[in-house]
């Protein structure tokens, strides 16, 4: 992404910009018309499928901030996704039970309040876990983020009050203005709107001074120290922003599925998010979204054919990884170029 702004590719820049705009318009049209197409095809399940893709696009993008841009291989990102989901589930539980959470926080079924709570809670988890894990680097960092995520996983498994292993049912989706949230098409558009806003914010973020520092941290941390930047603080803030994004996605997912369970925090879910980022292209704005659509799409198609779908998914992923050095999006770039 960064490189596209430079004169190294200046010759083709206008054409590339046109292509990009055309691509975005096509994407927007497709996303907007999808429910109609689904109805026309008599296949309303497509709307649910698309909603999941949109939600995972947000989760994968949030991981991309630290994995793709910052070069921090966090293997525990599902934890924040799950915490966001549980924030919605627990608040709804206390809303319907009529008794406050921890004795003083009233429950809610208000969508915006629940979303804000999910973002704050997951950010707080990321702050604590990030502050500890970021003292390490490399393999150690991968292992410690995984270990912390597993701790959070078992925390929710052991919370019998909120269903433990069985999870927690959200009987109705949270209320947003007077929208009919129970309608899957409406809820799809709500998620789509959130995703668009999220990606706009993300786009500003990675182009900002903070984003420039973050990309520098990935490339050479020693250089950043040598120009007077204490990288730890920047990494931690990025980690918190990433966690908050995953929490937002988790909150959307809890409302979509009307159900939260420890499965949301499982380590394999963290792996899926990483695959989405790498598949679509790290350190690109829309790469993770492409990865999310692709992975969930493949999963859906393959499960329709065979119950041994994972057996076929593996080789497909390997082929994609082999033939696209920097993810699917890199296929649409010029021949040369680095990760950006």
Partner 1 sequence: MTETLLRIANLTKRFGSLAASDGLSLDVLDGELHAVIGPNGAGKTTLISQLFGEIVPDDGAIWFAGRNINALSTAERVRIGLARSFQITQLLLDYTALDNVALAVQAHRGHSFRFWANARRDRPVRERALETLARIGLERRADTAVSEMSHGEQKQLELAIALATRPRLLLLDEPMAGLGPAECATTVELLRGLKSETTILLVEHDMEVVFALADRISVLVNGRCVITGTAEDVRNDETVRTAYLGEGDL
Contacts to partner 1 by CB under 8 A: 2-3, 5-8, 10, 204-205, 207-213, 215-216, 219-220, 222-231, 234, 237, 338-340
**Strand (E) or helix (H) holding 84:** helix 78-97
By the 8 A CB rule, do 340 and 215 touch?
yes
DSSP 174: P
- Dihedrals phi, psi of 110, to nearest 5 degrees: -85, 125
For residue 281, the minimal CB distance to partner 1 (Å) is 14
Residue 14 beta carbon to partner 1: minimum distance, rounded to whole angstroms: 16
Q: How far is the CB of 81 from partner 1 (least distance, A)?
A: 22
Q: Which is nearer to partner 1, 7 or 40 (CB)?
A: 7
State which residue, 261 or 284, has the beta carbon closest to partner 1.
284
**Distance in Å, CB of 207 to partner 1, minimum:** 5
> Which CB, 2 or 309, lies closer to partner 1?
2
CA atoms of 240 and 131, how far apart (whole Å): 9
Query: Whole-number minimum distance, CB 238 to partner 1, in Å?
Result: 11
Q: What's the min distance (Å) between Cβ of 23 and partner 1?
A: 21
Q: Are 283 and 68 in contact (CB under 8 A)?
A: yes
- What's the CA gap between 114 and 120, in Å, rounded? 10
d(CA 226, CA 44): 56
In the three-class reduction of DSSP (H, G, I as helix; E, B as strand; rest coil), residue 327 is classed as coil
C-alpha 213/C-alpha 241 separation (Å) is: 15
Whichever of 208 and 306 has its CB closer to partner 1, that residue is 208
Q: Which is nearer to partner 1, 120 or 237 (CB)?
A: 237
Q: Are strands 168-169 and 259-260 parallel, antiparallel or unpaired?
A: antiparallel
Residue 33 or 212 with smaller CB distance to partner 1: 212
Q: What is the dihedral of CA 335, 290, 153, 103, to 10 degrees?
A: 130
CA distance 261 to 153: 10
Distance in Å, CB of 13 to partner 1, minimum: 11
160 vs 175: CA distance, rounded Å:
27
> Kind and range of the H or E element at 172?
none
Q: Do the beta carbons of residue 246 and residue 80 sit within 8 Å?
A: yes
Q: Which is nearer to partner 1, 39 or 220 (CB)?
A: 220
Closest approach, Cβ 5 to partner 1, in A, equals 6
CB of 55 to partner 1, least distance (A): 24
CA gap 215, 257 in Å, rounded: 35
Contact 50, 297 (CB under 8 A): no
Distance CA 75, CA 40 (A): 41
**Residue 259 gets which letter from DSSP?**
E
Residue 3 or residue 16: which is nearer to partner 1 going by CB?
3
Q: Please identify, using beta-carbon distances, which residue of 12 and 219 lies nearer to partner 1.
A: 219
């Amino acid at each position: 992404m960064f490189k596209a702004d430079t004169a190294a590719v200046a010759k083709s820049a206008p054409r590339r910009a046109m292509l990009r705009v055309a691509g975005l318009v096509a994407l927007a049209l497709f996303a907007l018309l999808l429910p109609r197409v689904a109805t026309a095809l008599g296949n309303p399940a497509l709307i649910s499928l698309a909603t999941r893709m949109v939600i995972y696009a947000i989760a994968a993008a949030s991981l991309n901030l630290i994995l793709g841009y910052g070069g921090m291989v966090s293997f525990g990102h599902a934890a924040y996704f799950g915490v966001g989901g549980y924030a919605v589930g627990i608040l709804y539980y206390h809303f319907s039970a009529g008794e406050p959470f921890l004795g003083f926080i009233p429950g809610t079924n208000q969508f915006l309040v629940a979303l804000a709570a999910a973002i704050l809670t997951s950010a707080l988890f990321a702050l604590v876990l990030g502050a500890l894990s970021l003292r390490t680097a490399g393999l150690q960092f991968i292992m410690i983020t995984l270990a912390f995520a597993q701790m959070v996983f078992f925390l929710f498994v052991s919370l019998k009050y909120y269903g433990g292993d069985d999870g927690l049912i959200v009987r109705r989706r949270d209320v947003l203005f007077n929208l009919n949230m129970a309608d899957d098409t409406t809820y799809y558009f709500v998620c789509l709107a959130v995703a668009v806003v999220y990606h706009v914010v993300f786009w500003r973020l990675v182009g900002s001074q903070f984003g420039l520092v973050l990309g520098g941290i990935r490339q050479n941390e020693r250089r950043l120290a040598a120009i007077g930047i204490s990288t730890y603080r920047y990494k931690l803030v990025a980690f918190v922003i990433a966690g908050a994004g995953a929490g937002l996605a988790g909150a959307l997912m809890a409302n979509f599925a009307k159900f939260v369970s420890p499965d949301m925090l499982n380590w394999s879910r963290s792996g899926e998010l990483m695959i989405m980022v790498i598949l679509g292209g790290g350190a690109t704005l829309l790469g993770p979204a492409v990865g999310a659509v692709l992975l969930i799409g493949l999963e859906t198609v393959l499960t329709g054919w065979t119950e041994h779908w994972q057996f076929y998914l593996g080789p497909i992923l390997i082929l994609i990884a082999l033939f696209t050095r920097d993810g699917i999006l890199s296929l649409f770039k010029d021949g040369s170029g680095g990760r950006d």
